[in-house]
Amino acid sequence: MPKPNRVKFQFISLFAILLITPLLSAQQDFSAVEIVPHHVAGSFYYLEGAGGNIGLSVGEDGVIMIDDQFAPLTDKIIAAISQLNNGEIRFLINTHVHGDHTGGNENMGKRGVLILARDEVRVRLSEQSPEEALPVLTYNDTITIHLNGEEVHAFSVSPAHTDGDSFIHFRTSDVIHTGDVFRTTAFPVIDTNNGGTLNGTLAALGRLIGVAGPDTKIVPGHGVVSNRMDVIGFRDMILDVKSRVEPMIAQGMSYDQVSAADPTSAYNARYGDSERFLRALYSELSGQP
Ligand SMILES: [Zn+2]
């Protein structure tokens, strides 16, 4: 088949995927999903279900929640929280805009839960969501909630996974929820369509390494509880891949040539498919879209 047809076909496939993906997630069957609570330290728990890990501070003042997975799971999530604490869910902080972290916002907003996020998250969510799903309190730098004897400190980081990422540090329990900037299950996802960047990812991970102590528990957006050394390993992996790709770009290699050279080979067994990461990395380092 001549090349133009193949290119055209790939474009059509891409559009089909872009059109179908939101429909699939809207129609995804969540009936088999179980919400599993894990205690991490002090007042902090996280809930595993489908989508991003939900962080919780539970105590005598009620519940502070980080992210809320998908809308069809809200009842199950609330049931799981009520097993841990019979108080009110007071606040919900969104780590970033993605639907597997904010899908329950509308349900939570309608229940009167006060939603917080960075200014950028509200702007992006308002393009696709009803008023009830939008953060009511927004911040451009940091905000701290004082409940349950806990200091819950949300702080903005450089444009990394998206341009609206926050890390949430539960200072009394010494736990940090990182949203999707850090994950243990895959190569970094740099969502360039939502303002994510490679250099911002490196800066945000560097900030996390600076804020965390040796005993700090780090809860990723997806994956298992980790520590500062795990974040250093993840950051160093990105630096290693970057240092392999830079000279290839300096030699004028195309994305396909770089991809064929497999600069992530040492990490593929652990993190799986590297294409999306490599495309974002190549695009930012080469200045080519
Ligand atoms: Zn995400």
Query: Average pLDDT for residues 62-88, to the nearest whole number?
Result: 97
Find the 17 Cα to ligand 1 centroid distance in Å: 18
Find the 279 Cα to ligand 1 centroid distance in Å: 17
CB 93 within 8 A of CB 117: yes
Q: What is the pLDDT of residue 289?
A: 76
Helices (H), the chain: 3-27, 74-84, 99-102, 105-110, 119-126, 198-211, 228-250, 255-261, 268-271, 275-286
Q: Which domains does the chain have, with CATH numbers?
A: 29-227 (3.60.15.10)
Give the separation between CA 90 and CA 35, rounded to whole angstroms: 20
Find the 6 Cα to ligand 1 centroid distance in Å: 31
pLDDT, tens digit, 9 for 90 and up, residues 254-281 = 999 999 999 999 999 999 999 999 999 9
Find the 180 Cα to ligand 1 centroid distance in Å: 5
Give the separation between CA 279 and CA 273, rounded to whole angstroms: 12
Q: How far apart are the first and last CA of the chain?
A: 26
Find the 179 Cα to ligand 1 centroid distance in Å: 7
CB 161 within 8 A of CB 189: yes
Find the 79 Cα to ligand 1 centroid distance in Å: 24
Q: What is the pLDDT of residue 25?
A: 54
Q: What is the ipTM of this complex?
A: 0.98
Neighbours of ion ligand 1 (CB under 5 A): 98, 180
Find the 249 Cα to ligand 1 centroid distance in Å: 28
Find the 172 Cα to ligand 1 centroid distance in Å: 26
Name which of 173, 178, 118, 177 is nearest 151 in CA terms. 173
Q: What is the pLDDT of residue 87?
A: 92
Find the 250 Cα to ligand 1 centroid distance in Å: 31
